[in-house]
Amino acid sequence: MIRMENYLHEFLRVFFANGRLIKRVFLIFAVLTLLVPVVFKQNFDINAEVIVQSKKLSQSDANTALTTDSDKFVPPSLADMETESNILRSPTLIRGTIDELRQAGQFSYASGLLDTLLFEPLQRYLFGPLHEHVINPLRRAVGLEVDPPRDTTLDAWTARAAKDLKVDTLPGSNVISVVYRSSDPAQGTRFVQHLLNNYLKSRQELQSTDLPQSFYEQKKLQYQTRLDDLEGQRQKLLDVAGAAAPKEEITFRLNAINTEEQALNQYRDRALEAQNWLTYLNASLELAKKAGLTDYTFPFSFANTVDNVAYEDREIKQLGERLSDQVSRYGDTAQAFQSGSQPMQQQREAIARTRAQFLRVVSNRIRERSNDLAVLNSVIAQKTARIDEYKARVRQLQETDSKLSQVDTEVDALHKAFFTYTQRFEESRGERLIDGALSNARILSEPVEPTEAAFPRPGVVIPLGLLTGLLLAIALGYVREFFDHRFKTPAQIPQHLGIPVLMIINAVEEKEVNPYKRWSWPWMLRWVRE
């Protein structure tokens, strides 16, 4: 038959057999747990975050030129993030921040109970009487220099702040977490804020490529002198060309050339037409002079056209009609009279006079047309000369505009360089160091004064302390039971000695009753001692 062990019975036996030890150990831990929130000072965690966007690399020699693209940015690596973390936790940065706040009367460490009772007296003794009466005389005896008395408060505060400050890079990101534990939340918030500001200043100083101020002053004078020379060249070109705005005048001249060329083409067409008509009229006049007595017609009416309306020449029309009538009457008279008769002679003389008068009028009209053609030719010559003058002016203005464009290009380049100078000069004066505008590091979250202490937390410390005390007390009870080799039950005798049990005599002790009132202090003290 297999014997089954009752583990619950064994646990309860051990628990009640060592009840006094378990009870006292648990009570000791319970008291210590309750004293933790009272004895230990409250500590607050001040959190802040810094983001590193990219790494700034200088691509040019800052002592030779000022260029707008002198800085390049590359993504930060793990080594860069570790470097930024080291800058944040550097003792120099922490010491400088504490010194600033200390001089402003905004930073101090309150001494704890252990510091007041042990460390501070020991420190005063080591750096006081012991240093003065023991160490310094020994150094003088062996010929060494004596250490002067110094204040180590700032060193101690720096070491303590560095211990309370935790700077870590968040995994898989370019964000640095800053956590500072302080017993004074307002002072801790000020410290973290000043620490981040000093960090941005140090980052700015590390990345800045400032030049000496004399270099900037020299560059400024060079830019001003060069700008004055270029503006003088520009004004000289405008004075030589006699123009205030060459581009606008070129446009105006080109429009004038276009208008004059259109009018010139019209005048040339009219001159060509007038020249052809004049040639035709001269030929017709010569034929008319050679014509016979009865050839009275002329192949042109000398009509004037004004606004597309033709106006006939009355004088020529009247002379032509009268000549036609005389020739008609002469034909009728020739049928009745002989050619040598007096009426025939009179009509021939009349026809000759009218014909001569008609030809003189025609000659006058032809001379008028010759004069008109001469006027047209003079107008054509004048417009041609004017167009040539406009074209010569346009060429001059175009040359001037080309030279002005070159000057403007140099002026624009000078202005850009001057703007770069101004920007870098302002950077060198440190006007943009506080906000970190030129740095690749930014404050992602500002420190906020906490309202709840990070340690100790009674709601967490007391339950965990009581549970830990109970488990430790039970464990000590089992350890005591393990090293206690006395027989406590009859079943242990045959198990260990191999002999049977014949009789059991129980020695029962009567348990004393606690005579005090339940839950009073004497009752509790009696219950703890039992």
Confirm if 530 and 20 have CB atoms less than 8 A apart. Answer: yes
Give residue 284's pLDDT.
83
Binning pLDDT at 50, 70 and 90, where does residue 431 land? Answer: very low
Instruction: Count the neighbouring beta carbons within 10 Å of the beta carbon of residue 394.
Output: 19
How much is the pLDDT for 282?
87
Residue pLDDT, tens place only, 297-322: 677 777 766 666 666 778 777 887 78
- The amino acid sitting at 437 is A
Contact in structure between 165 and 159 (CB atoms under 8 Å): no
Beta strand 304-306 pairing with 44-52 = unpaired
* Nearest residue to 280 (alpha-carbon basis) of 362, 224, 340, 204: 362
Average pLDDT value for the chain: 76
CA nearest to 203, candidates 102, 93, 96, 94? 93
Lowest mean pLDDT among 83-87, 102-106, 452-456: 452-456
* Calpha distance 21→476 (Å, rounded): 8
Mean pLDDT of 326-344: 78
DSSP output for 265-280: HHHHHHHHHHHHHHHH
Q: Which of 238, 259, 248 is nearest to 394 (CA)?
A: 248
* Cα–Cα distance, 285 to 370 (Å, whole number): 14
pLDDT computed for residue 387 by the predictor: 92
For residue 128, what pLDDT is reported? 54
Lowest-confidence pick of 103-117, 282-296, 413-427: 103-117
Mean pLDDT score, 22-39: 75
Residue 165, phi then psi, degrees to nearest 5: -95, 130
Higher pLDDT pick, 250 / 154: 250
Contacts of 157 (CB under 8 A, 6+ apart): 98, 102, 107, 109
Rounded Cα gap, residues 234 and 228, in angstroms: 10
pLDDT tens digit sequence for 178-225: 888 887 888 888 888 888 888 888 777 666 555 556 667 777 788 888
CA distance 262 to 36: 108
Q: Is the pLDDT of residue 64 over 50?
A: no
Identify the band that residue 326 occupies on the pLDDT scale cut at 50, 70 and 90.
confident
Question: Which H or E element spans position 469?
Answer: helix 458-483
Instruction: Quote the percentage of the chain above a pLDDT of 70.
Output: 71
* Residues contacting 243, CB < 8 A, separation 6+: 249, 397, 400
Coil, helix or strand at residue 304? strand
Give the separation between CA 149 and CA 172, rounded to whole angstroms.
49
Q: What's the whole-number mean pLDDT along residues 407-429?
A: 76
pLDDT > 50? residue 390 = yes
CA distance 127 to 153: 12
Number of Cα atoms under 13 Å in the Cβ half of residue 428: 17
Q: Are 205 and 434 in contact (CB under 8 A)?
A: no
Q: What is the chain's Cα-based Rg?
A: 62
For 61-66, what is the mean pLDDT? 44
Pair 432, 438: CB distance under 8 Å:
yes
pLDDT of residue 436: 44
Q: How large is the average pLDDT for residues 252-275?
A: 91
Residue 45: predicted pLDDT: 83
> Looking at 46-55, 147-156, 374-383, which range is the least confident one?
147-156
Measured CA to CA, the distance from residue 255 to residue 250 in angstroms comes to: 9
Q: Which residues are 43's β-sheet partners? A: 455
Q: What angle do CA 195, 199, 204 make, to 5 degrees?
A: 150
Domains and CATH numbers, the chain: 41-208+438-446 (no CATH), 240-428 (1.10.287)
Instruction: Give the pLDDT confidence score for residue 210 in this predicted structure.
Output: 52
Q: Does residue 263 carry a pLDDT above 80?
A: yes
Identify the residue with better confidence: 49 or 40: 49
Backbone angles phi, psi at 52, to 5 degrees: -110, 105
Over residues 269-301, the pLDDT tens digits come to 989 988 998 898 888 888 877 777 666 667 777
pLDDT at 258 (0 to 100): 93
d(CA 363, CA 356): 10
Residue-level pLDDT at 1? 40
Mean pLDDT of 148-153: 62
60 vs 489: which has the higher pLDDT:
489
Q: Quick one: DSSP state of residue 169?
A: E
Residues 6+ apart with CB under 8 A from 119: none
Give residue 114's pLDDT. Answer: 47
CB-CB contact of 285 with 359 (8 Å): yes
Count how many Cα atoms sit within 13 Å of the Cα of residue 370 in the half-sphere of its side chain. Answer: 10
Judged against a pLDDT cut of 50, whether residue 65 lies above it is answered with no
pTM of the model: 0.43
484-493 mean pLDDT = 72
pLDDT at position 450 over 50: yes
What value does the mean pLDDT take over residues 140-153?
63
And the tokens for 88? Answer: 């944040």
Which of 119 and 412 is assigned the larger pLDDT? 412
**Does the pLDDT at position 515 exceed 80?**
no
- Which helix (H) or strand (E) is 44 found in, with range? strand 44-52
Strands 44-52, 175-182: parallel, antiparallel or unpaired by DSSP? antiparallel
* Mean pLDDT, rounded, for 431-439: 48
